[in-house]
Amino acid sequence: MTDTVTPIAREADDALVIAGTRLRSRLLIGTAGYPTQAIMAEAVRASGAEVATVSIRRVSLKGHGSDTVSMLGGFRFLPNTAGCETARDAVMTAELAREALGTNWIKVEVIGDRETLYPDAAETIEATRQLVDAGFVVLPYCNDDPVVCSRLADLGAAAVMPMGSLIGSGMGVANPANLELICRRSPVPVIVDAGIGTASDAVIAMELGAAAVLLNTAVAKADDPVRMARAMRHAVEAGRLAHGAGRIPRRARAEPSSPQLGLVGS
């Protein structure tokens, strides 16, 4: 049978699916560090994201005043365990988030080094194991290690979130070879998290095969957070399209784009 689906229709159906939930946007955005709460809310909406992350240890959960949760009605919240250093703390924080926000989605973040904010692989794996067993949809932040990502997926993580580079560094994708390998092998969505500094970094992450990008500082600390949020929205979309289209091979020599036969004077 002839395939009559147009390329535009295929792109429209290209949803990100996490634990059975379909998301139109492949950009997830954080809510911390903005100049004001009003700018945060405007930037988050300008990004086109449907999922907003909140630190359960830092955000007001009472739903009144100008707190993050009340300002972002209609968004799916992804609470995170930022600030935790052990699996035990991460599990307790996740349970608090589920009770306070009414969601079983959790971004597991267990830090092993306070200077670099590098994740603790062993504690992250243990927290993921316990939280999956407790019925959470677990999205663990981890180092860009294919073995760690595979172990987390085997434990039942709904997605894996390898770092692009150090949190808040703006260094972009520091190890593209590892990231491409993780994306190619992973049975669950790969969401690049941490280190994205500008739109071109997000494009690179998506071109390597990532299913999505999660970022915060690149938008929150930009000179114009709202404009940067729009840029990130388009960057993720462009990177996804480019990955699907397939780039041309890199060559060490020039190759003319026009035919050489039939030139005037030949």
Residue ranges of the annotated binding site for 1-deoxy-D-xylulose 5-phosphate are 168, 194-195, 216-217
Binding residues, by number, are: 168, 194-195, 216-217
**Closest residue by Cα to residue 80 from 49, 50, 101, 65:** 101
End-to-end CA distance of the chain: 46
Pairing of strands 105-108, 111-113: unpaired
Q: Is 221 a catalytic residue?
A: no
User: Active site residue: 107, 151, 233, 240, which one?
Assistant: 107
Percent of the chain that is helix, strand, coil (3-state, to 5) = 40, 20, 45
Cβ atoms of 172 and 201 within 8 Å: the answer is: yes
Backbone angles phi, psi at 162, to 5 degrees: -70, 150
**Closest residue by Cα to residue 97 from 64, 54, 135:** 54
Token pair belonging to 81: 């365990």
Active site residues: 107
